[in-house]
Structure 1
Amino acid sequence: MRKSISTAFFSLVSTLMVLGIVLMGCSEWVLFKNYFARDRYETLDQVVGVTRRTAQYLAQQAALPEGDELDALNTKLEIIGESAEAYLFFTDNDGRVLIASSPEMLTAQAVPDEMMKKAAASGADYYHVFGTLDGVLTEKSYVTVSEMCDERGSQSGWIFLCSSGRQLTEFKQQFWSNFLLSACVMLLCASILTKLLMRKLTDPLQKVTDAAQRFGGGDLSVRVEGVEGEGEVADLARTFNRMADNIQTNDNSRGQFMGNIAHELRTPMTTIKGFVDGMLDGTIPPDMQNHYLQLVSEETGRLARLIQNMLDLSKLESGEYQVNARMFNIWDTLTGVALSAEQRINDGMIEIEGLTMDEKALVYADPDLIHQVVYNLLDNAIKFTPAGGTIRFSVEKLGPETEIAVWNSGQGISPEALPYVFQRFYKEDRSRGLHARGAGLGLNICKVLVNLSGGQIRVESQQGEWCRFVFTLPSQAPNPGGMKRLPDEAGGAPAVEDPASMKPVE
């Protein structure tokens, strides 16, 4: 059977309280009982001293007095008993009762031998016992037993002074009835307070539970509302909300990511299918087929580059690649990438500035990864630099870092688009209003690679005039232990198997 937190907590508290109350009641009862007995025995011991003279008188008599003398003796014994709220009787050495202040309190005229032996074996002036003396008394009583001696000091009998235990019985009944009433009131108050306390605790937990169930059922928009303040429960609610925000954001990104992939794959495939169908059904004449086959080839290449980019990102996020960092001259990389794109630069009538073969700027990174970063940035600059425009390279050492920049003239990027240019599938042409080429993965890969190399990348732009991408790299090798893995939007430590094989991205 499932138990709620409130039920389990109440059961635990109730059990502990009942055990505590029972323990307290028993200890209090033992304390009162011992105190009551001690008080009774002290009083009886004092009375025994008074009765010793009467005991000596009886010891001197050959037989019990009779007539008025016996009445006077009985009266004296009654007075002694009443003064101590007790009754007494005398026995000989064998335990036979000689005289009693209240004969009606006795059910026998002799004390059993077993009881007499216990009194004799105690060796004390006073022997105390609580009971009926094995049935001699009509009720349980506090009994003080003491020897009585004759003039020669020889034992001549025993004095039994008894105080009724009825008061203890009445006190016991009253004590336990009051105690049980108090215990019930305490349990009732504790139940109410526990209920209020647990409601304050379990209500927020129930909200978290309900939200978690709905969230697990697929409602990613649900959040825990109305849980404020400090404490573990409030922290749990806030943590749940943050977790839900992150999961919803990741889910939205994943959905958008899959939608973008589908869109980017569908566009070239639709084009290819249209051209092929046109050639098959004769819509495209034979003399134009070579032209359309060239378009099909371009779209196929675009599709292959998109798939390669997706594979590259997958490899970067898998954490398999170990960065092969070393010191190298960043100018060699910049110059090599520019020379490899010389034909495209000339076709676009673009002027290159800032390149030099004489300067040296050492950085600590993986040359293959940085080559890919520079290639992507230059490819991006070529696409969005108008005919007659300029692309400018610059390198500047800033303390422990070296800053590398690729600047190009052109339309630039709007301020609203700047925060998003490094996101996957973000189309640069949406902000610049130029070419529709590219899947929007190149700059995202740049960000991942730069972060993996221990640097940062950013973009600056003046809309309608220029755009500038800047990234930093360490100027010297780090402490022993290798390069640190830095967080990036791709998550985890990116990796590639063969960075040099990564295809140009659009």
Structure 2
Amino acid sequence: MQKSLFSKFFTVCLSIILASISILGVVLLVFASQYFKNDKFDLLSRNVVQAVAITSNVTTQGEGGYYVDSTRAMSGYSILGNAIDADIFLVDQYGKTLICTHRASCIHTTYMISEKIMEEAREGEYREMGSLGGIYSEPYYTVGRPIKAQDGSVIGVVFASTSAEGMTSFLLEIFKMFLFSAIAVLALSFIVIYFVTDRLVRPLREMADATQSFSKGDFAVRVPVEGYDEVSKLAMAFNTMASSLAAQDQTSRSFIANVSHELKTPMTTISGFIDGILDGTIPEEKQRHYLTIVSEEVKRLSRLIKSMLNIAKIEAGEMVIKPVPVDINDIVCRTVFTFEKAIEEKRLDIRGLDVDKIMVEADPDLIHQVVYNLIDNAVKFVNEGGYIEFSYTVDTAMTYIGVKNSGQGLTKEEVPRVFDRFYKTDKSRSLDKNGVGLGLHIVRSIINLHSGDIMVRSVEGEYCEFVFSLPTLHQKNGQSIFRKGEKGK
């Protein structure tokens, strides 16, 4: 069975803590045993030093060698041995035990201390944890120091030995205390890690649940954001993505609905009129009139399909621009002449065309489409007897072209939406019955392909102005260079 992220994280954390506690326990026991061992050796060493001093005080030199007052030495050895629970015994220079505090039958008198041990003891201090050359059947701590005569010669060695059983008990007690502490720490860690892991994983679970909702078309689910850590940033990014998906879904639904509506209306008109002509409902003398309407609706469908294909090409990145030096004022002038009839009918004042060449780098065909759409809108929505004004602002990087018309203008609510696909203002529905609401969206897309921008300014009841920018033409050795809009290359 596949493990969840919660169980994986929880298991890893507990494993790390358990391993750390185990390593800490081993290190603690090693250091505790070493401490206990050193402490025992130091204790034995201090008492051996005192035993050597006692022995030296009760040793006399006589004929044939040195003599020790065994009664006095034994008394001092017994006091020292009882104080530290150790056997203290004196051996001669050959390793034979002379005095011993062992109360039972003394095992030291049965064996001789090996010459190897004696050699080490004569050198200074001898320390061992073991059987003292086989004398003991179990581990003993043993410390030995030499007894020296006035001439510096070694005349014997004092040893102190105590059982090593105490270390086992000591380590067992240490282990018990450590074990109880480790269990308490593990229990506390278990609780803390459980809740911390749950808190870390909860946003991921919520994201997983949200994706299930997304797959069903519900984009309203959001993940709560707490704090500002990496998981919180991920949750914020997830919510942003959800909002984007919701917007795209809404746009897609609106697009489909608008396309369906825009296609359905002319198709219904065409179908109705043609059926009327075929079945004789429409008399012959009126057929030309209705065929004219059908022709207009077919042209409207053609414009709609062409606009949708252009949008699809732009969004798919398939529309390639071919920028060349262009006199934008010349394009504007030629486009204005195509609206001569409508301009005369509305008695419009055309301003701003009496300027010199305004050279930019642009694709002539696409920019003509931009200019045509903007002038078409201006002519449609300008008031009778009003004006259409063109303006140019040139700087080193970009040239700004403005198309302004008097009239009702746009409301504050309409301004942010004029470039949306299929968006038509209330007044455009009455003034622009043939439009499909894609013109300005295509205009913005084309301008963006040229690395330019377009904005709208409007004062309701006074005017509306669209300003778009194109790369300014720069000359270098007689050649034009494209400073902006290099997407087209």
TM over 0.5: yes
Instruction: Specify the code of the residue in structure 2 equivalent to 1:276.
Output: I
Name the SS of the counterpart of 2:88 in structure 1: strand
Name the SS of the counterpart of 2:280 in structure 1: coil
CA distance in 2, matches of 1:228, 1:308: 49
- State percent identity of aligned pairs: 33
Name the SS of the counterpart of 2:456 in structure 1: strand
Is 2:422 aligned against 1:425? yes
| Residue matched to 2:315 | 317
Correspondence for 2:231 among 211, 233, 237: 233
Superposed displacement of residue 447, structure 1: 1.7
Listed as ranges, the matches of 1:146-295 within 5 Å are 146=145, 159-225=158-224, 227-295=225-293
Cα 1:310–1:369 change in 2 (3 A) is same
Q: Deviations over 1:96-150 (max 9, x none)?
A: 545432152745744377x543443576223211223355236533212355678
| 8 Å Cα contact 2:93-2:156 kept in structure 1 | yes
Correspondence for 2:358 among 352, 357, 361: 361
Q: How many equivalent residue pairs?
A: 481
| Residue matched to 1:4 | 5
Cα 1:102–1:309 change in 2 (3 A) is same
Is 2:409 aligned against 1:406? no
Which of 140-149 and 256-265 deviates more? Answer: 140-149
In the alignment, structure 2 segments of 5+ residues that lack a partner are: none
Superposed displacement of residue 26, structure 1: 3.1
| Residue matched to 2:38 | 35
CA distance in 2, matches of 1:105, 1:177: 37
Superposed displacement of residue 212, structure 1: 4.1
| Residue matched to 1:18 | 21
CA distance in 2, matches of 1:73, 1:426: 117
| 8 Å Cα contact 2:447-2:468 kept in structure 1 | yes
Instruction: Specify the code of the residue in structure 2 equivalent to 1:26.
Output: L
Superposed displacement of residue 256, structure 1: 0.6
In the alignment, structure 1 segments of 5+ residues that lack a partner are: 486-492, 498-506
Indicate the RMSD between aligned Cα atoms, in angstroms. 3.9
| 8 Å Cα contact 1:224-1:237 kept in structure 2 | yes
CA distance in 2, matches of 1:297, 1:431: 22
Instruction: Specify the code of the residue in structure 1 equivalent to 2:135.
Output: V
TM-score (normalizing by structure 1): 0.79
Cα 1:61–1:283 change in 2 (3 A) is farther
CA distance in 1, matches of 2:42, 2:482: 84
Name the SS of the counterpart of 1:427 in structure 2: coil
Which of 4-13 and 253-262 deviates more? Answer: 4-13
Which of 258-267 and 1-10 deviates more? Answer: 1-10
| 8 Å Cα contact 2:142-2:159 kept in structure 1 | yes
TM-score (normalizing by structure 2): 0.82
Cα 1:444–1:154 change in 2 (3 A) is closer
Instruction: Specify the code of the residue in structure 1 equivalent to 2:371.
Output: V
CA distance in 1, matches of 2:406, 2:153: 136
CA distance in 1, matches of 2:300, 2:203: 54
Which of 183-192 and 417-426 deviates more? Answer: 183-192
Instruction: Specify the code of the residue in structure 1 equivalent to 2:367.
Output: I
Instruction: Specify the code of the residue in structure 2 equivalent to 1:185.
Output: A
CA distance in 2, matches of 1:128, 1:230: 62
Superposed displacement of residue 203, structure 1: 4.0
Instruction: Specify the code of the residue in structure 1 equivalent to 2:127.
Output: H
Superposed displacement of residue 257, structure 1: 0.9
| 8 Å Cα contact 2:421-2:437 kept in structure 1 | yes
Is 2:470 aligned against 1:473? yes
| Residue matched to 1:132 | 131
Cα 1:350–1:428 change in 2 (3 A) is farther
Which has the higher relative contact order, 1 or 2, with Cα contacts under 8 A spaced 6 or more apart? Answer: 1
| Residue matched to 1:503 | none
Instruction: Specify the code of the residue in structure 2 equivalent to 1:445.
Output: I
